[in-house]
Structure 1
Amino acid sequence: MGESRTELIAWVNELLHINYTKIEQCGTGGAYCQILDSIYGDVPMTRVKMNAKHEYEFVANFKVLQNVFKAKKIDKARPSPIPVDKLIKCKMQDNLEFMQWIKRFWDSNYGGQGYDPVARRRGAPAEPPATIAPLAPTARTGGLGAGGARAGGRTPIGGHRAGSAQPNEQLQGLHAQIREMSGHLEGLEKERDFYFAKLRDIEILVQQQLEVLESEGKDDPVFRDIQKILYSTEEGFELPEQPVDEEETF
């Protein structure tokens, strides 16, 4: 059996001089990169974003990690590939299992040399990343749920409502989760805009190359296929109609 979540978080915090509170926060990838840096000392930490907040930043961190795996031939020591698509979702079980493997690898390969994690990341902030958790049911404090369910959906008249002793704490917790989800939504919108801008650049480049080829009486099936993919739509989604200039011909 591997170490528990509590043991792993304590070890990671001590090794990297950070203050994570949950194992799923490691799903941003930064901690995994720096753990390997503590072994080898040559991970490009300037490319690692320790305070990553958006999924595309998590992916970039894991690309650094995968490059280290290949360069150090760690992929041969691990029986299966890094489950990046699962880890970046910041789910507890996936990150727990991967961190347990990382800890075993570290135990076998760390040479005991001194390591200054803050200097290696050049003082970059490493505050605990925010992770999205489901809204907590009121049953947590004895309201609705086993042993405290409301009969017929009605609150007993004149009786003491379980959990009402801590309404402010519950309300503050819900507000905090709403703020966290709002931040997550903002991150998703930025991520969408980021990838849309890239696709737009590709679209313009392809169109320019096709126009050059057409002026020379040539064509390129690869560019045509790329353009077809860019302009394709799915069922239930149609591109908005664009006003056509009467002088424009097709």
Structure 2
Amino acid sequence: MPLTVHQFPCLEDNYGFLVRDEASGLAACIDTPDAGAILRELSKLGWTLALILNTHWHPDHAGGNQEVKAATGAQVVGPAEVTRLTSLDREVRGGDHVMLGETRFEVIESGGHTLGHVAYHDAADRIAFVGDTLFALGCGRLFEGQPDQMWASLQRLADLPDETRVYCAHEYTAANARFALSVDDDPAVKARAGAVFAARERGEPTVPTTIGLEKATNPFLRAPQLAERVGAAGEPDFKAFAAVRAAKDVFKG
């Protein structure tokens, strides 16, 4: 039976995600950006929370762990770095898996934004929860990792099937689209940017996206094709990525 995803906005620009394994009726939340919002949504849905799946340690992703755990009894699962902020019931790393009823989440190493960042991939339903590694038309800042690490992480995600639905943790897409237009004049990028701006004008979310759409239009995944434009012609792919990331870091548009 399929996995049901319930997405809701919280904090300034985060998304919260509650997921339910329909075979067992058990639910999980992906990160805990806003404990109060998560508990309200759970109450509305009437779901039983079994797991908290953390992608990384930042407070807008793991800061609500203890309040949600205290209210629900859910087990907290995540990479070791989460213990910088709060306790874990189970530590996971790339190559592990986590079961929610009959739903199997593969844990994908996705460090770069933070060193121990992970993503959770439900291959059967072709769904990935990627935290702050990959965004619609963007990627996370390199607060702890290096460009080669982040590029490798993005390639692991890019290797997922094109139809994989990608749930990223923030609504950054309009700003990402403005940057994309500054470095990439591909018609597909222009068309997507227009669709993004129109969706945001209507108050609609731009998450989830898909792996195929990101490979076609995301300037960070397209970095090798943009190498000349960002001054990295002839450099290894990760250095082209680094140049695109550096350009985004100072972009004011």
TM-score, with normalisation over the residues of structure 1?
0.25
TM-score, with normalisation over the residues of structure 2?
0.24
- Bigger-Rg structure (1/2): 1
**Higher strand content, 1 or 2:** 2
**Higher helix content, 1 or 2:** 1
